Amino acid sequence: MKIALIGYGKMGHEVEKAALARHHDIVVTIDNAQEWAERLDLLKQADVAIDFSQPDQVVGNIHRCFDLHIPIVVGTTAWQDHFEEIKARCLNEGQSLFHAPNFSIGMNIMFVLNKQLASFAERYGYQLSMAETHHIHKLDKPSGTAVKLANDILAVNHDYDHWSVDTPADHTLYINVTRIGEVNGIHSVTATSPADKITLTHEAFNRQGFALGAIAAAEFLIGKFGVFGMEDLIEE
């Protein structure tokens, strides 16, 4: 598989290592606007692109790949305001998009457990709260992973009608956000009652799990058309 890496920072380098370990080729890396023009011919050779760029760049990157009919795996978060626009183009033109707030298999197991905990919490009177911690370089707050966890809770637990990173309030799911050091990512959901407390926590020790998940997504996407996520990959 010939891969184009869009965004060549720490995650881009980790994805490159994972790709080479699985005997794939990196045909091009693109890390700025100038390289889109300079390396266009190399980009056209790619079977699939993997994007771990920046939130303000990713929508344009997706459109550029669609222009060239290159399937794209998007690991960048904080662009969901444009999702319906991207989805419509993808489906209307027979393009291929794989997106996920988190590519870690472990985190996707937590997504399943989180929904179960949220449902039981409403039934048995537990109060829910969340916390997420990342490195100081992470731009979005809360993380895309935390947003998914929160939205999944809201979908099944009617004690809450929105989430917030501000001061806790009635009917508000509070997310405590911390940016410190070089933390790869810690996400927790806590259910508290007068009798006890339940906590689900996922901690990423390094970036390897995200990189391997992204490569698995790229392998999955080849030959498919439409919009896909980790649920599709895991089910297959």
Q: What local confidence, expressed as pLDDT, does residue 119 receive?
A: 98
CA 139, CA 55: separation in Å to the nearest integer? 8
pLDDT surpassing 90 at residue 198: yes
- Quick check: is 202 catalytic? no
**Tally of residues, the chain:** 236
Q: What local confidence, expressed as pLDDT, does residue 169 receive?
A: 83
Please compute the mean of the pLDDT values over residues 133-156 and round it to a whole number.
93
Please compute the mean of the pLDDT values over residues 42-48 and round it to a whole number.
97
pLDDT surpassing 90 at residue 168: no
User: Measuring CA to CA, how many Å separate 15 from each of 57, 78, 93, 152, 230?
Assistant: 19, 20, 28, 28, 17
Q: What local confidence, expressed as pLDDT, does residue 235 receive?
A: 82
Residue 196 sits in the same domain as residue 221: no
Residue 25 sits in the same domain as residue 140: no
Q: Partners of 93 in the beta sheet?
A: none
Please compute the mean of the pLDDT values over residues 145-155 and round it to a whole number.
96
Residue 172 sits in the same domain as residue 214: no
Q: What local confidence, expressed as pLDDT, does residue 146 receive?
A: 96
The residue written with tokens 């598989």 in the block is 1
Residue 112 sits in the same domain as residue 98: no
Looking at the 3D structure of the chain, how many domains does it have? 2
Find out whether 197 and 168 touch, Cβ atoms under 8 Å. Answer: no
Q: What local confidence, expressed as pLDDT, does residue 80 receive?
A: 86
We report the CATH number of the domain holding residue 188 as 3.30.360.10
Please compute the mean of the pLDDT values over residues 44-69 and round it to a whole number.
96
**Active-site residue (options: 24, 99, 137, 138):** 138
**Token pair of 123 as six digits:** 């039934």
Contacts of 235 (CB under 8 A, 6+ apart): none
Residue 37 sits in the same domain as residue 80: yes
Residue 111 sits in the same domain as residue 183: yes
The pTM is what? 0.81
Q: Which domain holds residue 144?
A: 105-203
Q: Partners of 190 in the beta sheet?
A: 129, 199
**Active-site residue (options: 134, 148, 187, 202):** 134
